[in-house]
Amino acid sequence: MNKHSVSNRLNRRAWLFIVPSLVLLVSFVFYPMIQAFFTSFQTGIANNTEFGGLANYQRLITDSTFKKALFNTVLFLIIQVPVMILLALIISSMLNNKKLKCRGLFRTAIFLPCVTSLVAYSIIFKSLFANDGFINGLLMNLHVIGEPINWLTNATFARILIIIAITWRWTGYNMIFYLSGLQSIDDSIYEASSIDGASAFQKFRYMTLPLLKPIILFTTINSTIGTLQLFDETMNITQGGPANTTITISQYIYNLLFKYQPNFGYAAAVSYVIVVLIVVLSFIQMKVGDRNE
């Protein structure tokens, strides 16, 4: 048997493993994306639809609820993602210290929120941040505030609550990536910097951050995509309120499909705003990452 026939047999076997996954990917990812794109040009309610050209996209310009959802989503993105990434970096650096006792316990405790039941943690957060909840009680006992904060009914504090909830849930997830990166860095690099008199902050700024740059870029893009698709926290904690001040684009799409009269065309058009934002922001982040190489 010659090498060419062996290679062909190996290629056929490889395709046997690839084809099932490829079929599933096309069926449940690419086909729905293409179908949604064509649907975005249809106008009308439920099954009574017709081709409307760019009418749905023109409607976006005058839709006040969409503008509010877009503003809220971008606001969560530019505040929460940098805070979460920085916290994950700091915590992972601290937990990578070999002299720290119970490191495994701390790592598990910080990672645990991202595998916690969404409904359970939403109920707990609503209870903690209620007018007579633990957080208001603690702040009043510490004399930080004089009266309870309306976390769920005040627009500003409701947004802060969502940012706190997302950060609490996903910081540990990013921490795991940074820990794996830190453990691949040779200890001799830090030992040499210690001999040169570098402080802990200097090691973090000039050594840890540059060495973790590919992982930071990866987690930033992942976090950006996740925040642009934010739905669960706003739906379960604030229901998009008060007065749509925490509604996100994903929640608005849900409302268009299931809460209001079903408008599949307009909902598909709104969903493609998320696609465009993800593509543009991911491209910018990768370009910035390449430029700093």
Reported as a pLDDT band with limits 50, 70 and 90, residue 258 is: confident
- SS3 string, the chain, reads CCHHHHHHHHHHHHHHHHHHHHHHHHHHHHHHHHHHHHHCCEEEECCEEEECCCHHHHHHHHCHHHHHHHHHHHHHHHHHHHHHHHHHHHHHHHHCCCCCCCHHHHHHHHHHHHHCCHHHHHHHHHHHCCCCCHHHHHHHHCCCCCCCCCCCCCHHHHHHHHHHHHHHHHHHHHHHHHHHHHHCCCHHHHHHHHHCCCCHHHHHHHHHHHHCHHHHHHHHHHHHHHHHCCCHHHHHHHCCCCCCCCCCHHHHHHHHHHHCCCCHHHHHHHHHHHHHHHHHHHHHHHHHHHHCC
Q: What is the pLDDT of residues 273-289, one digit of tens each?
A: 888 888 888 888 877 76
pLDDT at 2: 55
CATH assignment at residue 100: 1.10.3720.10
Whether residue 131 sits in one domain with residue 13: no
Q: Which of 133-147, 171-185, 186-200, 210-224 is the least confident region?
A: 186-200
**Residue range 116-125, pLDDT digits in tens:** 888 888 888 8
pLDDT of 75 strictly over 80? yes
Q: Which pLDDT value is given to residue 15?
A: 80
Percentage of residues in the chain with pLDDT exceeding 90? Answer: 16
| pLDDT of 3 above 60 | no
pLDDT in tens, 94-124: 888 777 788 888 888 888 888 888 888 888 8
Same domain, 31 and 100: no
pLDDT for 143 equals: 85
Same domain, 10 and 90: no
Give residue 96's domain range.
63-291
Confidence class of residue 46 from pLDDT cuts 50, 70 and 90? low
- Assess whether 68 and 31 both reside in one domain: no
Q: What pLDDT score was predicted for residue 293?
A: 54
84 pLDDT higher than 90: yes
Residues 187 and 251 in one domain: yes
Task: For residue 47, tell me if it sits in a domain.
Answer: no
- Which carries the bigger pLDDT value, residue 4 or residue 12? 12
Q: Residue 159 falls within a domain, yes or no?
A: yes
Structural domain includes residue 52:
no
Mean per-residue pLDDT over the chain, rounded:
85
Instruction: Report the number of distinct structural domains present in the chain.
Output: 2
